[in-house]
Homo-oligomer: A and B are copies of this chain.
Amino acid sequence: MASFTKLGICVLITGLIWIIPTPDGLTTEGIRIFAVFLGVIVSFILRPFPMGAMVVLGLMVLAASGTIGIKEALSGYGDSTVWLVVAAFLIAGGVIRTGLGRRIALIFVSKMGKTPIGLGYSLCLSELMLGPVVPSNTARGGGILAPIVQSISSALKSEPAESPERAGAYLTLVGAHANLITAAMFLTGMAANPLVAKAASSVMNIDFGWGTWALGAIVPGLIGLALLPLVVSWISKPTLSDTSAAQHSANEELTQMGSWSRGEKIMTVVFVVLIALWTTKPLHGIHTTTVAWIGVLILIFSNTEKWDDIIGNTKAWDTLIWLGGLLTMANMLKEYSFISWFADNVGAFVQSTEGLTLVILIGLIYFYSMYLFSMLTAHIAAMASIFLALSVTAGAPAMVTVAIIAYFSNLCACLTYYSTGPVVIYFGAGYVGPQKWFKAGFLISLFHLAIWLGPGLLWWKVLGWW
């Protein structure tokens, strides 16, 4: 399908909803914002043009038609969560450029890589260390770890066409799914996570910030990472048992890298400062976004990152454009009462179910609806706030609902091989075919549900979330 046919479909959808008579209890603005929002979401799925272009188009249709003012249309670009993500992208640039990300992964491989399972754990630990500060799960998985997985597999003489089962298939699956667990664990683990936090704040008035997000995820997340290498070894057993060749190659690469550079050392300091300040927020009260920018400033003033690296970080500015605009629309849907109207009307259907059962039901639908989407971000943007609003109307316990939607937003990417950037990249390496990926994905979805709805729910009970 050509770009303009796809664009036409999006425009048609928006146009049709735009012109239907406004339903009772809804403002004209409300239905128009929804029309544009839906068109934009459909464009995320069809992808006629880059997300940012479609979001700006949506904003300008709303502004030019006088539906919302230009100030409202641009309000998302002054949002603190958006600038947290921008800062995290700028820091991630440093993690990659200084080579620190690569070194961390290689160290784990060299220490723990004697067996395939040990290699699996080294991937999980690398993901866990990088998760909080590399907000693009694509940069983390696809940019830092996937290349390492491929070079390890090659070193182990496991090639996609001939001998994927030796080690490559196993390591690919562990790498991809570990990436999704760490994406779920941190507000700054994946670029679209702030959409959920924002929805929680605007729909339910709950502050699900960096600390709260990580607190709720720490127990089920660590259990997940601890078990993942074992579970995957059952799903896709590596035929190789001794992988010390990978250790050797990692050691060689580490020797090549030489001693720690000044940039890597400063980057490590920034890491420590960020995590320390983020986790101790109640003590000093400095906003998460301010903390992230302090990190960026350290990198700039220590000359670890050049100003040209900052303004040339295209991923950061791309994300600013689409995330800021999307947040504006999500806010406007709420401001102009679309969300409450929708929840009131659809909520009646789910009123019969109650409390925790309802939350779990909603969580399961949210999780498996990912089969219908080709991209995590589109799924989150389309469904998260609607599902939250639904639960509120139906009287579900608030905190646990937010938690489930937040974490499932990333975990559900396990289902397909085209759900998000790093998964596409890992799949693209060719060690695991489509059918096998689907089968493994479904099994791993059961694994996730068992953990997050088992020990997870218990942990959230301890936290008093339900």
A residues apposed to B, CB below 8 Å: 7, 49-50, 52-53, 56-57, 59-60, 63-64, 66, 69-71, 73-80, 83, 285-287, 289-290, 293-294, 296-297, 300-301, 307-308, 310-312, 314-315, 317-318, 321
A300/B53 contact (C-beta < 8 A), A64-B290, A290-B64, A314-B312 known:
yes
Measured between beta carbons, the chain B residues less than 8 angstroms from A77 are 77-78, 83
Residues of B contacting A312 with CB < 8 Å?
A: 312, 314
Q: Which residue of B lies closest to A80 (CB)?
A: B70
Q: B residues within 8 A CB of A7? A: 301
Which chain B residues lie closer than 8 Å to A293 at the CB level? 56, 59-60
A60/B297 contact (C-beta < 8 A), A71-B80, A74-B80 known = yes
- The answer to whether B53 and A307 have CB atoms under 8 Å apart is yes
On chain B, the residues within 8 Å of A297 by CB distance are: 53, 56-57, 60
Contact of A49 among B76, B294, B307 (CB under 8 A): B307
Main secondary structure of the interface of A (DSSP, over half): helix
Can you list 18 A-B contacts (CB < 8 A)?
A: A49-B307, A53-B310, A56-B293, A56-B297, A57-B301, A59-B293, A60-B294, A63-B287, A64-B286, A70-B290, A77-B77, A77-B78, A307-B318, A308-B314, A310-B321, A311-B314, A311-B318, A311-B321
Closest partner residue, chain B, to A313 (CB atom):
B317
Question: What 5 new A-B contacts, CB under 8 Å, besides A71-B78, A78-B79?
Answer: A53-B301, A75-B78, A77-B83, A311-B315, A312-B312
Residues of B near A57 (CB, < 8 A) are 297, 301
Task: Please report the C-alpha to C-alpha distance between residue A49 and residue B64 in the assembled complex, in whole angstroms.
Answer: 39
A357 to B110, CA, bound (A): 78
Given A308-B314, A312-B314, check contact A290 B75 (CB 8 Å). no
Residues of B within 8 A of A73 (CB): 290
Q: How far is the CA of A66 from the CA of B287 in the complex (A)?
A: 9
Interchain CB contact under 8 A, B78 and A300? no
The one of B60, B80, B314 that contacts A290, using a Cβ cutoff of 8 Å: B60
Number of identical protomers = 2
Verify A307–B80 contact, CB threshold 8 A.
Answer: no
CB-CB nearest 9 A-B residue pairs: A78-B78, A50-B307, A70-B287, A311-B314, A63-B290, A311-B318, A77-B78, A311-B317, A74-B78
Return the chain B residue nearest A78 by Cβ. Answer: B78
A285 CA to B66 CA, complexed, in Å: 9
Do the beta carbons of A52 and B314 come within 8 Å of each other? no
CB distance from A121 to the nearest CB of B (A): 37
Q: Which residue of B lies closest to A4 (CB)?
A: B301
Q: Specify which chain B residues have a CB less than 8 angstroms from the CB of A53 in the assembled complex.
A: 297, 300-301, 307, 310
In the docked arrangement, what's the CA distance between A446 and B300, Å? Answer: 43
Given contacts A49-B301, A286-B64, whether A296 and B70 have CB atoms under 8 Å apart is: no
Closest chain-B Cβ to A290's Cβ sits at a distance in Å of 4
Give Cα A63–Cα B287 distance, bound, in whole angstroms. Answer: 8
Q: Which residues of B contact A60 (CB under 8 A)?
A: 290, 293-294, 297
Contacts of A83 in B (CB 8 A): 74, 77
Closest CB-CB distance, A328 to chain B, in whole Å? 9
Distance in Å: Cβ of A370 to nearest Cβ of chain B = 26
Question: Roughly how many angstroms separate A307 CA and B317 CA in the complex, as a whole number?
Answer: 11
State A75–B76 Cα separation when bound (angstroms).
10
- Nearest residue (CB) in B for A87 is B56
A10 CB → nearest B CB, Å:
12
How far apart are the CA atoms of A75 and B75 in the complex, in Å? 8
Residues of chain B within 8 A (CB-CB) of A294 are 60, 64
- Distance in Å from the Cβ of A305 to the closest Cβ of chain B? 10
Residues of B within 8 A of A70 (CB): 80, 287, 289-290
Expressed in whole angstroms, the Cα–Cα distance for A380 and B67 within the complex equals 35
* Docked complex Cα distance between A301 and B3 (Å): 10
Residues of B within 8 A of A286 (CB): 63-64
Shortest Cβ distance from residue A113 to the other chain B in the assembled complex, whole angstroms: 37
CB distance from A143 to the nearest CB of B (A): 17
Please give, as numbers and ranges, the residues of chain B lying within 8 Å of A315 by CB-CB distance.
311
Min CB distance, A272 to chain B, in Å?
18
A201 CB to closest chain B CB (Å) equals 12
A395→B60 CA distance, assembly (Å): 40
Residue of B nearest to A319 (CB): B311
Q: In the assembly, what is the distance between CA of A78 and CA of B296, in Å?
A: 21
